[in-house]
Chain A
Amino acid sequence: MTANGDVFAPGYVVVERGRIAAVGAGALVGSGGRTIDATGKFVTPGLIDVHSHLGVYPKPGAQAHSDGNEATDPTTPQVWAEHSVWPQDPGFQRAAEGGVTTLHILPGSANLIGGRGVTLHLRPALGSRGMRFPGAPDSLKMACGENPKRVYGGRKRSPSTRMGNVAGHRAAFLKAKAYRAKHGKAASDKMPRDLGMESLIGVLEGRVLAQVHCYRADDMLSFLQVADEMGFEVRAFHHALEAYKIRTFLAARAAAVATWADWWGFKLEANDAIQENAAFVHEAGGRSVIHSDSAEGIQRLNQEAAKAYHSGLAAGVKLEENDALRWVTHNAAWMLGIEKEVGTLEVGKRGDIVVWDAHPFSVYARAALVLVDGVVTHDVEKPVAPWSDFELGLEVVR
């Protein structure tokens, strides 16, 4: 299942020097390399989670390493999630065991502007730089709605309302525009270093992708007003539970929608979730993505996509399996600006591949084999010692 429209049954994939060298139907004759027989199994691109807090909110949860929200000021574009990522979070290996090969780590949503997100290639490393997806653009995490106004309103400071949220977003970008105007038209060597300004100007110039946490339809529309006023594009709305209400509008703006299959009701702005959200957005020509935002959900993104797919089918949306597969592969890659590198099984792309022991949309399917750049990160037949030093010894003292 290439996630590019083709299903080769049977089919083959050849990986050479970490990249896909051939993919096609039928049996491959005489490749000369190591051969993995996947007879009776299903092969897909590696799954991509566009919204994860692994490493910045690691398990087991403890204040000592909860490093996802620099909640000291509502506007912190200067912080980078990659500097909080604890690569020893046991959740990374759990995600790999679920077929994830790439994930985007974001700061939390306490702040209006929470800082830069980082795209990681999922393999064990001692520092986040060792996991950084080569060439992937950074993102800037922003948030609307309840979270920022709750966090700062609770401290009797702005924002304490939705109008305060929007004012905060506008003020930050006005400052960035003024900074840029003062020091030349575009970011350049002459510009004095200012980490926050670099992130904001990166968004204004399209080099840093705007990833926006938003639930309600009206909140998304308000944020798009800010983007229009300031002159930047929203790459994607995350969570976006009411995207279905404004789906033609979002599709026309080419803003992707990253959402869950069925989470809802945990706060008031999550009250109008429907299980058909991703399918309806897709139907309207929008770019749907299923994300996890969860150390549990990232272990079975394939099931989440399957739930959203079958909910859509039941509601009469015309959908192919390929469409839903793209919600956790190609569309996710596009959201992160790495669609030329990963997200489909195509010649030239990175060898990020999952072999499933059953159809990946079955609740019973397990990732039997996971490859990143052609290197095995999980083999169900060959259990390995835990990646994380933290988990060492748990086996011994059981």
Chain B
Amino acid sequence: MKALIFPLAVFACVGLGQLAAFASPCTVLTDAEVFVDGAFVPGQAIRLEGHQITAVGADVPREGCAVSSFAGRVITPGLVETFTQVGLAEISAVKASVDTDLTTAFQDQGHTVRAAVESWRAFNPRSAVVGVTRVAGVTSVVGIPTGGVIRGGAFWADLTGGSQAVSLQKTPAAMVVSLGGGSASRAGSFHVLGVALDEAVLWKGQQKAWERNQRRAYLTPHLDLIALQPVIDGTLPLLVAVDRAADIEALLSMVGERQGLAKVRLIIAGGAEAWLVRAQLADKGIPVIVDPLLYHGANFDQLHARHDNAALLAASNVPIILSTLSSHNARKLRQVAGNAVRGGLDRAAALRAITQTPADALGLSKHGRIAPGAVANLVVWSGDPLEISTRIEAIYIHGASIPQVSRQTMLRDRYRTVPVRRLP
């Protein structure tokens, strides 16, 4: 066995959170093809001031601004990964570094209902996964907890690095539910959700009576019923992870049949078989989060998975959102969207599905778009954002230019020159 020697070297330590900086009170990006109003428009300029986009058009005021020309380049909103554990899971198999599971001692024995737990308290904006994800053009994530039937609240975070206060944009952004097969009872999961929603409706009128001990106990803990109130009111989307077509049908009828749920705004996530019920989903305007790479029927809920799921849904006017459904693979988002196009989806539709559509579905009207007043989350691409050969030339999050540095690029640079030699 030959020995290895690593030459001693001193490596500068750079805190990634400190790198973002404003170079000038305003910045103008010119001459680019820009994704505006859901379409690619050539010859556009964008003016950024502070955290915001303040102007977009063929010409924008540029006095006193730093001007960067991006001729031949494409600028899109920063990409949005809508179903991920970025910032919640550092190393998937190291349990102590994974904070996606919202169990507490206040829940039922099976921890089926976790609506009241605030998943975003565990979000780590300084995670190495944040750095790796954002240099791939993903500037926003929707953090999704795991486990249980009512998993708890999801949150929207921008990958600014730095503090939670700066990073977290909406808490909660959705209430997450999981239905279907696997180890738990399928009908049982519907039962738990149905009881919780029924009781949340009852709670609205009987909260005072419950507080005076004039009402019998609820099956669902009262803190969870309180957390479900904005779902009943329709101000917080109910994001349901479900794959099987029959389960989607059952969900739609359950919500349709019950009293007091008329305002509930559903979002389907996963939706491997959603294409089979696309007419109903379109009729109700229910957005669906899908992974276009999911085409191998990984379990019995996905037997009818198709590679053109997204294209079929879009053709029926179902609002679609594309996702990796993953934590560490969130950086593959543009490849995922490219594969939806490979499966027949229009390219602009694919880009909308990873920018504006998720922002609209979750009620963030200033995210996922390039428009005056919008949050300045932008990516400058060397060409077609979905094509593998395309490189990222600049990233702006909250108006600040983000260096293309992550723990992985630092490893790359540390080992760029061969650091070993063989001894005789």
Residues of A within 8 A of B (CB): 59-62, 90-91, 94, 146, 221, 224-225, 228, 244-249, 252, 262-268, 270-276, 280, 284, 295-296, 299-300, 303, 306-307, 310, 314-316, 361-366, 394, 398
Q: Looking at the complex, which of B30-38, B206-214, B219-227, B385-393 is the stretch in contact with chain A?
A: B385-393
**A268 to B97 Cα, complex, angstroms:** 10
| Other contacts beyond A265-B129, A363-B339, A363-B388: 12, CB < 8 A | A61-B299, A90-B296, A90-B297, A146-B93, A262-B332, A263-B329, A266-B92, A274-B415, A300-B293, A310-B389, A314-B391, A364-B387
The total number of A-B Cβ pairs within 8 Å is: 128
Partner of B93, one of A94, A244, A268, A272: A268
Contact between chains at A394 and B296 (CB < 8 Å) = no
> In chain B, what residue has the closest Cβ to A224?
B1
Which residues of the partner chain A approach B300 to less than 8 Å between Cβ atoms?
A: 60, 62
Partner of A268, one of B91, B388, B389, B408: B91
* In the complex with contacts A394-B303, A398-B276, A91-B296 CB distance below 8 A: yes
> In chain B, what residue has the closest Cβ to A300?
B339
Contact between chains at B408 and A273 (CB < 8 Å) = yes
Partner of A364, one of B2, B304, B338: B338
Contact between chains at A394 and B386 (CB < 8 Å) = no
**A362 to B335 Cα, complex, angstroms:** 10
Partner of A398, one of B302, B304, B391: B304
Which residues of the partner chain A approach B299 to less than 8 Å between Cβ atoms?
A: 59-61
Partner of A363, one of B1, B94, B335: B335
Contact between chains at A284 and B296 (CB < 8 Å) = no
Which chain B residues in 216-272 approach chain A with CB under 8 Å?
none
**Sample of 7 A–B contacts (CB below 8 Å):** A91-B296, A228-B1, A263-B329, A265-B327, A267-B93, A299-B295, A363-B338
Overall SS of chain B's interface = loop
* In the complex with contacts A225-B1, A263-B329, A394-B303, A249-B422 CB distance below 8 A: yes
**A2 to B391 Cα, complex, angstroms:** 27
Partner of B328, one of A62, A91, A265, A394: A265
Instruction: Flag whether B341 is at the interface (Cβ < 8 A).
Output: yes
* Least CB distance, B40 to chain A, in whole angstroms: 16
Contact between chains at A363 and B304 (CB < 8 Å) = no
Instruction: Flag whether B420 is at the interface (Cβ < 8 A).
Output: yes
**A284 to B420 Cα, complex, angstroms:** 11
**A265 to B335 Cα, complex, angstroms:** 19
* Least CB distance, B90 to chain A, in whole angstroms: 8
Partner of A249, one of B129, B389, B420: B420
* In the complex with contacts A268-B91, A315-B416, A366-B342, A299-B4 CB distance below 8 A: no
Residues of B within 8 A of A (CB): 1-2, 4, 90-94, 129, 132, 276, 293-300, 302-304, 327-329, 331-332, 335, 338-339, 341-342, 386-389, 391, 408-409, 411-412, 415-416, 418-422
Contact between chains at A303 and B388 (CB < 8 Å) = yes
> In chain B, what residue has the closest Cβ to A89?
B296
> In chain B, what residue has the closest Cβ to A222?
B1
Partner of B4, one of A249, A296, A300: A249
Contact between chains at A363 and B93 (CB < 8 Å) = no
**A306 to B387 Cα, complex, angstroms:** 10
Q: Which one of B294, B296, B335 has the highest number of Cβ atoms from chain A below 10 Å of its Cβ? A: B296
Task: Please provide the 3 A-B residue pairs with the shortest distance between their CB atoms, ordered closest to farther.
Answer: A363-B338, A267-B93, A265-B328
* Least CB distance, A225 to chain B, in whole angstroms: 5
Partner of A296, one of B294, B303, B411: B294
Which residues of the partner chain A approach B386 to less than 8 Å between Cβ atoms?
A: 363
Which residues of the partner chain B approach A262 to less than 8 Å between Cβ atoms?
A: 329, 331-332
Contact between chains at B420 and A248 (CB < 8 Å) = yes
Partner of B412, one of A94, A246, A274, A365: A274
Contact between chains at B296 and A307 (CB < 8 Å) = no
Contact between chains at B302 and A271 (CB < 8 Å) = no
Contact between chains at B419 and A245 (CB < 8 Å) = yes
**A225 to B298 Cα, complex, angstroms:** 39
Partner of A265, one of B92, B297, B409, B416: B92
Which residues of the partner chain B approach A299 to less than 8 Å between Cβ atoms?
A: 293, 295-296
* In the complex with contacts A268-B93, A306-B388, A295-B298 CB distance below 8 A: yes
Contact between chains at B342 and A248 (CB < 8 Å) = no
**A121 to B304 Cα, complex, angstroms:** 27
Contact between chains at A266 and B328 (CB < 8 Å) = yes
* Least CB distance, A113 to chain B, in whole angstroms: 21
Contact between chains at B420 and A244 (CB < 8 Å) = no
Which residues of the partner chain B approach A228 to less than 8 Å between Cβ atoms?
A: 1
Contact between chains at B388 and A267 (CB < 8 Å) = no
Contact between chains at B302 and A60 (CB < 8 Å) = yes
**A252 to B420 Cα, complex, angstroms:** 12
* In the complex with contacts A246-B420, A274-B412, A362-B297 CB distance below 8 A: no
* Least CB distance, B422 to chain A, in whole angstroms: 6
**A267 to B1 Cα, complex, angstroms:** 28
Which residues of the partner chain A approach B132 to less than 8 Å between Cβ atoms?
A: 264-265
**A61 to B181 Cα, complex, angstroms:** 13
Which residues of the partner chain A approach B2 to less than 8 Å between Cβ atoms?
A: 249
Contact between chains at B389 and A361 (CB < 8 Å) = yes
Contact between chains at A306 and B389 (CB < 8 Å) = yes
* In the complex with contacts A221-B4, A246-B4, A398-B276, A60-B303 CB distance below 8 A: yes
> In chain A, what residue has the closest Cβ to B342?
A364
**A217 to B2 Cα, complex, angstroms:** 14
> In chain B, what residue has the closest Cβ to A221?
B4
* Least CB distance, B353 to chain A, in whole angstroms: 15
Which residues of the partner chain B approach A266 to less than 8 Å between Cβ atoms?
A: 91-93, 328
* Least CB distance, A347 to chain B, in whole angstroms: 32
**A295 to B296 Cα, complex, angstroms:** 7
* Least CB distance, A57 to chain B, in whole angstroms: 11
Contact between chains at A274 and B408 (CB < 8 Å) = yes
> In chain B, what residue has the closest Cβ to A229?
B1
Contact between chains at B342 and A363 (CB < 8 Å) = yes
Contact between chains at B412 and A276 (CB < 8 Å) = yes
